[in-house]
Amino acid sequence: MLLRNAEELNSDLVVIGQKTDSSSHGITARNFARHVKCNALVIPDQAKFKSRKILVPVDFSENAGKALRTAIALAKALDKAPKIEVLHFFELPPNIGAYRFSETKLIQLIKEDREEALPQFVDQHVAKEDQSFLKFTVAQSVRWPIGHHIAHYATEHKHDLIINGAKGHSRLGLLLLGSVTEKLLANTTRVPVLIVK
């Protein structure tokens, strides 16, 4: 019913509340966000929304670029522009023994590569004059899925909003939400998430 209403109204954005204190943590919100065709703002019931710090996780996909452009547009529309942190988490390849480098050296090489690629990616999607309030961060994803790391990072660094592309580089184009977005929604209890489609 809600999904049909959103489609009939030709909505640009739907806002969805998310319960965080139950065993089904956010399943309804995730299902709705998965199927709605427009952008979705998922607000956990423990969230206290402000607009001072926005986190934009990127994986160098077109959807990440769209999320970044959305963050810039939002920042420009606010009276006081928030700080926007552009975050990239990287994972080590599964067969690191096949490389001629030690694990430490491989981490260093990947991090340096991503630190160089991140500003170039931003340049492709954001005009130079709109980059003054951007901060770039590259970090390694260890043990947890990337979506879990993003949720933890946003809470730990006191971000007020996460703006995330619905899908990344997955070859499974039929998926309505990417696995990172799914994990992010499953693990976010205090920070609202705007899913850009």
- For residue 9, tell me if it sits in a domain: no
Are the C-beta atoms of residues 84 and 188 closer than 8 Å to each other? Answer: no
pLDDT in tens, the chain (197 residues): 555 655 666 778 888 888 877 655 555 777 777 878 889 999 988 888 778 999 999 999 999 999 999 999 999 999 888 999 999 999 988 877 777 878 888 899 999 999 999 999 999 999 999 999 899 999 999 888 999 999 999 999 999 999 999 875 554 443 456 788 888 988 888 999 999 98
Task: Give me the helix-helix angle, 179-187 and 146-156, nearest 10°.
Answer: 40
- For residue 16, tell me if it sits in a domain: no
Distance between CA atoms of residues 190 and 14, nearest Å: 19
- For residue 88, tell me if it sits in a domain: yes
10 Å CB burial of residue 143 (0-12, 13-18, 19+) is exposed
- For residue 23, tell me if it sits in a domain: no
User: For the CA atoms of 55, 59, 65, 67, what is the dihedral angle to 10 degrees?
Assistant: -40
- For residue 35, tell me if it sits in a domain: no
Q: Domains in the chain: how many in total? A: 1
Provide the whole-model pTM.
0.88
Token pair of 197 as six digits: 């489609």
- For residue 137, tell me if it sits in a domain: yes
Instruction: Provide the CATH number for the domain around residue 55.
Output: 3.40.50.620
- For residue 168, tell me if it sits in a domain: yes
Domain that includes residue 187, residue range: 50-196
